[in-house]
Each structure stands twice: as C-alpha cells, then as structure tokens.
C-alpha cells in the first residue's frame, strides 16, 4: 500500500484532474452500484456532506438513538446545516424501531419540520458491529418509498457487513440513495472515506465538501491506498471476524466478563464485573493491551496486523489481570 502511494500519478482533485482519485471514485461507484463517488477526508465529513446535500435547512433527519452520526459527529448537521435530529430506538441488531420510525415521519403541516432523510448504519458500531441484512434494508426502503424520502447509509464498516453476509456489497447498497464507507478502518488505509450516490447528488456533495474544507489537491497519494485496499483488503476481513470470535470465546470463559453482545463482525464489546472501567483500561495498558471504555463497556477491534496469536495473548493477559484483581479483593486490599 505504501509503495502504491509513493508511485501514484497525481493531479489537482479540486479541478477533477487527479487520475488516481478519479480511478478510485470510479471503482467505488461501480462496486456499490452507484453512478458516482467522491473521496472525503473522513466518514464524519462524508456523512455531513450527505445530510447537507439531501436536506434543506430546517428539515428533520430520522436516525437511531445509538447512531454514530447522532452521538459522535459533533452535532455538525445541526450546527452547520440547521437540521434537527429525530432519534428513534435501535434494537439490539441496530435496526430502527419500525413503529417509532413511522411515527417520526410527520404529515405536511405548518407546525412541523419537514422530514428530509432517514439514516441507517451498517455495520452498527454501538450495537456491537451488528449487520443490517437485505431484508432489514428493504423494509426501510419500502417505508421511505411510500413517503418519497431518501435513505443515507453510514457504511463505515460496510464491507464487513458484505463479507459477513457473503453477498456483493452492491446488494446492500441497492436500497440506499447515498452511502459512505471508510477506507481507514478494516480496509487498512491511513486516511479517507468515500461517499457514493447519483451523479447529481455527488455534484452537490462536492460543493459541500469544499465548504467543509475537504477540497484536496494532489489527493492521489491517499487515493492510491484506497485502490490497493479495494483490490486486496476486502476478502481478508473474514480473518478479522474469525479473530473477533476467537477473542469472544476466550473472554466468555473468564469469570467476571460478560459479552455485550457476541460479535457478528470485528467488534467485541464486553462488561467487567468488580472494576472501575477506567482503572481496568489503565491496568490492561500496563500489560500491553490497548482498549478503552465506551459507555460502560470495553471495546476490542480486530483488524489487519492483529493475528490469532495476538488475540489469544490479549485474552491471556486480560485473564491474568482479572485473576489478580479477584485475589486483591479476597485479600481485602
């Protein structure tokens, strides 16, 4: 990947003249079954550009209470786009509650904000890397078609979903008007995400990308990494999923550890009994196992560069920390 970056042909992407960026965008659009695509600096920037392109100021966006866009993207859609976020319940698999979603789509009325967009997330981060299936996505599409509303999918880990379901990624994106996916997560790139949609939509989104400071010049250096990733890093995501299952199996055998929930892809969430989680994370770090407390749970992520032996060693070190903690509590320390 680094060699591809060093050897990339370059141009000025603000003027659409970087051949490597253009190739990446064409490749991404074709893979996802969309007309066009745009390289952005991050998934947050891609999601925000999508929301701004789909909606008018004052519109309401329906999305999950546990969605990344609502919780971890700094309120950009409200602060910069004047959009209101209407959060509905996610079930344990990341799906939006159908009843709440229907109720959130209000009729045309001078008293109500217009509904501009419904946002989904696949895989779903806070729900444990869970996967939305074609059936899940089709159900939302049926509803939005009835109300003539667009659908945006935050597909930060979209290829993990496709690999988990063993389907072409275009089967999952067929139900969406726009989709983002990250190059910088499981696909292993140093930076970057892609936003895909119709040609007209991407033309509008490019204006917002520029407004948000995302107009890059010789961005082919980054795009070359993305091309390499799409050609070489997708199928190997299955290894990450297998390693996550190995981690989960090991953690499940440790007293005081509870999985929340069992992993479907490459995210492993678990709770720890009898510890302050901040102290637990620091203690693990002392043992060379890096992770963090995410809302009362620990999250582990498997990815390229972490093999089965690394996962088994991390579980062994965690088991040792837990055992030492139990010993201290029994001694009254």
Place of tokens 């190739």: 23
Which numeric CATH code is attached to 237-330? 3.90.1150.10
In order of 28, 107, 110, the CA distances from 179 in angstroms are 11, 26, 31
Predicted local confidence at residue 295, as pLDDT: 81
Neighbours of 281 (CB within 10 A): 17
Predicted local confidence at residue 331, as pLDDT: 38
Cis peptide before 261 (omega within 30 of 0): yes
Q: Tally the C-alpha atoms within 13 A of residue 300's C-alpha that lie toward its C-beta.
A: 31
**Tokens standing for residue 281:** 């994370």
Predicted local confidence at residue 4, as pLDDT: 98
Q: Compute φ and ψ for 293, nearest 5 degrees.
A: -85, 120
Q: Tally the C-alpha atoms within 13 A of residue 253's C-alpha that lie toward its C-beta.
A: 11
Predicted local confidence at residue 260, as pLDDT: 86
How far is the C-alpha of 80 from the C-alpha of 56, rounded, in Å?
Answer: 12
Predicted local confidence at residue 326, as pLDDT: 56
CA dihedral 276, 282, 285, 290 (to 10 degrees): 70
Give the distance between the most distant pair of CA atoms in the chain.
68
Predicted local confidence at residue 332, as pLDDT: 39
Predicted local confidence at residue 333, as pLDDT: 40
How far is the C-alpha of 214 from the C-alpha of 72, rounded, in Å?
Answer: 19
In the chain, beta strands by DSSP E: 36-40, 60-64, 84-88, 115-121, 151-154, 178-182, 193-197, 257-259, 267-272, 292-293, 298-301
How far is the C-alpha of 48 from the C-alpha of 31, rounded, in Å?
Answer: 22
Q: Is 34 helix (H, G, I), strand (E, B) or coil?
A: coil
Q: Compute φ and ψ for 315, nearest 5 degrees.
A: -65, -40
Predicted local confidence at residue 108, as pLDDT: 92
b/e 284-298 (16+ beta carbons within 10 angstroms → b): beeeebebeeeeebb
Q: Does domain 2-232 have CATH number 3.40.640.10?
A: yes
Predicted local confidence at residue 330, as pLDDT: 40
How far is the C-alpha of 38 from the C-alpha of 25, rounded, in Å?
Answer: 6
Residue-range domain boundaries for the chain:
2-232, 237-330
If residue 107 lies in a helix (H) or strand (E), which one and from where to where? none
pLDDT tens-place values along the chain, 333 residues long: 999 999 999 999 999 999 999 999 999 999 999 999 999 999 999 999 999 999 999 999 999 999 999 999 999 999 999 999 999 999 999 999 999 999 999 999 999 999 999 999 999 999 999 999 999 999 999 999 999 999 999 999 999 999 999 999 999 999 999 999 999 999 999 999 999 999 999 999 999 999 999 999 999 999 999 999 999 999 999 999 999 999 999 999 999 999 988 999 999 999 999 999 999 999 999 999 999 898 889 999 999 999 999 999 999 999 999 998 754 444 334
């Amino acid at each position: 990947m680094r060699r591809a970056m060093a050897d990339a042909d370059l141009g000025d992407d603000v003027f659409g003249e970087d051949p490597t960026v253009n190739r990446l965008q064409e490749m991404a659009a074709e893979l996802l079954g969309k007309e066009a695509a745009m390289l952005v600096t991050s998934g947050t920037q891609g999601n925000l550009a999508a929301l701004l392109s789909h909606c008018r100021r004052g519109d309401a966006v329906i999305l999950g209470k546990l969605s990344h866009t609502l919780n971890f993207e700094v309120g950009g859609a409200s602060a910069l786009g004047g959009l209101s976020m209407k959060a509905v319940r996610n079930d344990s698999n990341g799906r939006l509650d159908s009843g709440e979603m229907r109720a959130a789509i209000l009729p045309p009325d001078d008293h109500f904000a217009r509904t501009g967009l419904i946002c989904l997330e696949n895989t779903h981060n806070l729900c444990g890397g869970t996967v939305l299936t074609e059936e899940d996505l089709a159900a939302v599409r049926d509803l939005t078609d009835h109300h003539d509303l667009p659908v945006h999918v935050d597909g930060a880990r979209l290829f993990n979903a496709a690999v988990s379901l063993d389907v072409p990624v275009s089967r999952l994106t067929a139900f969406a008007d726009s989709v983002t996916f990250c190059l910088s997560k499981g696909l292993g790139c140093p930076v970057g995400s892609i936003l895909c949609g119709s040609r007209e939509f991407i033309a509008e989104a490019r204006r917002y990308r520029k407004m948000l400071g995302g107009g890059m010049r010789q961005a082919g250096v980054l795009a070359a990494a993305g091309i390499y990733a799409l050609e070489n890093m997708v199928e190997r995501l299955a290894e990450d999923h297998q390693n996550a299952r190995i981690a989960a199996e090991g953690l499940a055998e440790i007293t005081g550890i509870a999985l929340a929930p069992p992993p479907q892809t490459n995210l492993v969430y678990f709770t720890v009994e009898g510890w302050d989680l901040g102290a637990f994370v620091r203690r693990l770090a002392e043992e060379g196992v890096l992770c963090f407390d995410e809302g009362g749970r620990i999250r582990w992520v498997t990815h390229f560069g972490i093999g089965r032996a690394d996962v088994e060693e991390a579980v062994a070190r965690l088991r040792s920390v837990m055992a030492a903690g139990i010993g201290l509590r029994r001694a009254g320390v």
